[in-house]
Chains A and B, each alone.
Chain A
Amino acid sequence: MLAAVIEGPGAVAVRETAPPQASGLALVRVAQAGLCGTDRKLAAGVFPVTAPRVLGHEMTGWVEVPGPGGAVPAGTPVVVNPAVFCGVCPQCRADLPNLCARGGLLGRDVDGCFAEFVAVPESLLHPLPASVTPDEGALLQVLSTCVHAQSEVPVSPDGSAAVLGLGVAGLLHVQLLRARGVRTIVGVTRAAWKRDLAAASGASVVVPPEEAAEVSTSRSSAPARPPRWPRPCGWPARGQR
């Protein structure tokens, strides 16, 4: 099969390699793969990697050979979670498989998806409904990291948020905040061409960094000063002392 292989720091070659062994894993035929800054840094040798290693961790495809559990049948369109996890360590048992002590990343610690086929644990397969388009599929992995980032952060329609940097992740954060009901979203970017895109994504206002402080202060619904200290619990009310 054709694959993009890191052969050493700064050396990526597209060449024929043997297809991965599916023993104990699911074999997925790759439809498309997304590039991100991590791939660039792995390819350039900024992040260490044991060569040879097939690059790539963002992908959609179809199940070619189901995993041993048969949970996702052959032919099913899927997005693959690239964060390999063991499922039994304390972090995994605490529903934090992204922090798995024995985990790793596709395309860095195990062979990735810049190839015609990739072999992964079937626990990493997420079936895709037909309504998800290929372009949407290409963004799902990044979107999932944005969902995770905001997952423990409470928001309200009356609250406000600022997103600094409007690359792919920043624009997805803007969309996600809007979908969660936040009405005041300040986008901050140096790139003038991203302003329309950010506005279409749901930003209330988009400004360059030097204007961010002023806009954020004027748009924030948070109190300008912290509230005064409340009376300590148990303190007798006036007239009862």
Chain B
Amino acid sequence: MRLAGPGATVILFGMVASVDGLPAYEGYIKELTIRCPRASRPRDFDAAIRLCAGRRLDVAPLVTGRFPLARVTEALAASEHPEHLKIVLNVAGQGA
């Protein structure tokens, strides 16, 4: 909220349990819009598919690890490490 300019929108993305010290007065002075989006709608999936299919985004480099389903506990532990972005479980042996 402190980085935001007048009239800006601030998105609290993901499951944010609480925000200590929320600068509410700054939000008032700048008349900020605060959004707390939850999950997504079917049309958001359709848009995401179009963006990838149309090569408008390059998301594949964000997959940094693959594990077979049988090693899920190892995969869960690895996903906590900061060097990983998205970890994928190969369930049907795709891309192993």
A residues lining the B interface (CB < 8 Å) = 2, 4, 12, 14, 29-40, 43, 55-56, 59, 61, 79, 81-83, 95-99, 105, 113-116, 123-124, 126, 128-129, 131-136, 138-153, 160, 162, 164, 167-169, 171-173, 175-176, 179, 191, 193, 197, 200-201, 212-213, 216, 220, 222-223, 225-226
Contacts and interface: CB of A to CB of B under 8 A. Distances in A.
Taking chain A's interface residues, is the majority helix, strand, or loop, or is none over half, making it mixed? Answer: mixed
Contact of A145 (B6, B39, B61, B92): B39
A59 B56 CA distance: 21
A15 B14 CA distance: 31
A9 to B, nearest CB: 14
Size class of the contact patch on chain B: 35 or more
Interface of B: 2-9, 11, 13-15, 30, 35, 37-49, 51-53, 55-63, 69-70, 72-73, 75-76, 79-80, 82-83, 85-92, 94-95
A33 B86 contact: no
B52 A140 contact: yes
Given A98-B38, A149-B11, A171-B85, 15 more contacts: A34-B88, A34-B89, A35-B75, A95-B41, A131-B52, A138-B86, A140-B45, A148-B41, A162-B4, A169-B14, A176-B57, A200-B61, A222-B6, A222-B7, A225-B6
Contacts of A31: 91-92, 94
Contact of A152 (B35, B51, B69, B85): B35
